[in-house]
Amino acid sequence: MDASSVTVLIASPLEPRYVERIKQVSLRLDVLYEPELLGTPRYAADHDIVPQRTPTQEAAMRSMLARAEVMFDFERTHLHDLLTVAPRLRWVQSTSSGVGELLRRHGLCDTDLIVTNAAGIHAIPLTEFCLMVMLMAVKRAKHSQWLQQQRHWERFHSTTLHGKTLGIVGLGAIGRHLAHQARTLGMTVHGVKATLPTDDLPAQYSVDYLWHDAQLAEVLPLLDFVVACLPLIPQTVHRFGPAEFALMKPSAYFINIGRGQTVNELALIDALHRQCIAGAALDVVAHEPLAPDSPLWALPNVLISPHSAATVDTENERLTELFCDNLQRYLTGQPLRNVIDKQRGY
């Protein structure tokens, strides 16, 4: 790149201190940020707002889009015509890890647009969510809550995570971090990958055993906990269905922190009703928000998290660190971190 200025549009809400941090990356940056055009965040690190704008505000946003070469996050009201309203756009830093389906839906896969995702940013909170679910299961937290509600004192036994077996289906940054933490608690961890080159070793992924996705049927009967952290691509739609739930132990728990469409929900509901598995924790569902009449709400052996397990008050800080590092790389012609293969979807 030459020494000309680079226009950066911050397209979703960000705290002023992080905006300033981005501006400090280089004097070459012309950073555009108009928070009144982006809507009001509902919670910390809210990047899913679709704002309502006046005609004057819409004209102002279009003016900024027309100038942008780089964007922090996708502008939610112009996903369908992004490269038309932003013809100079070369790179978007997403605030999400899973944006493959968004790119396919809006015809961005067969373009020259560079998209980097937030892989790794959510590994810590999602790992903590999985550990919470597993600890609640082995420590019988719901039973303790029921006894407390009944004002009834009765001793009971529980068990430990130490010695239990965890299967992680999808070994990206989140899966690897979860594997590492689970092993420190004495769990045996099986990792399942879609591709398994001959030089892949379990230690590379912090797991005890490494399996190819085609071997999932062999792995499932061994597991006390199954965590799905799969991207949504054609090959992963309904990856977990009647056959997979039938293979799991009746005492096993299923946790989905990836994408809801990777699970056949009717099959999951049936397995839970018939107690083919002990329970499930779902941070994602096939159609969000989850319909009020969904049976999942009322099942006593299900924990619903409204796609919130990854959203923490430190998210924007970590996103800004990633973006600033990538900005430095962009300005100096170095490879960017977390570039998405748009054809593969992740």
Asked about 344 being catalytic, the answer comes back as: no
Whether the predicted pLDDT of 266 surpasses 60: yes
Contacts of 99 (CB under 8 A, 6+ apart): 74, 115, 117, 340
- Predicted TM-score (pTM) above 0.75: yes
- Whether the CB-CB separation of 182 and 131 falls below 8 Å is answered with yes
Coil, helix or strand for 30? strand
In CATH terms, are 6-120+313-332 and 123-304 the same topology? yes
Q: Which helix (H) or strand (E) holds 125?
A: helix 123-138
- The catalytic residue among 244, 259, 265, 315 is 259
- The catalytic residue among 20, 36, 218, 288 is 288
**Cis preceding-peptide flag for 289 (omega within 30 of 0):** yes
Mean pLDDT score across all residues of the chain: 96
pLDDT average, residue stretch 229-248: 96
Q: What is the pLDDT of residue 344?
A: 87
Whether the predicted pLDDT of 1 surpasses 50: no
Asked about 259 being catalytic, the answer comes back as: yes
Of 179, 194, 193, 192, the C-alpha closest to 134 is 179
- Whether the CB-CB separation of 222 and 167 falls below 8 Å is answered with yes
Superfamily name with CATH number, domain 123-304: NAD(P)-binding Rossmann-like Domain (3.40.50.720)
For the chain, what are the domain ranges? Answer: 6-120+313-332, 123-304
Q: What is the pLDDT of residue 199?
A: 84
Asked about 244 being catalytic, the answer comes back as: no
Whether the predicted pLDDT of 2 surpasses 60: no
pLDDT average, residue stretch 152-181: 98
Whether the predicted pLDDT of 44 surpasses 80: yes
Q: What is the pLDDT of residue 235?
A: 93
Tens digits of residue pLDDT in 283-313: 999 999 999 999 999 999 999 999 999 999 9
- The catalytic residue among 307, 318, 329, 337 is 307
CATH code assigned to 6-120+313-332: 3.40.50.720
State whether the Cα torsion 4-31-97-342 is positive or negative.
Answer: negative
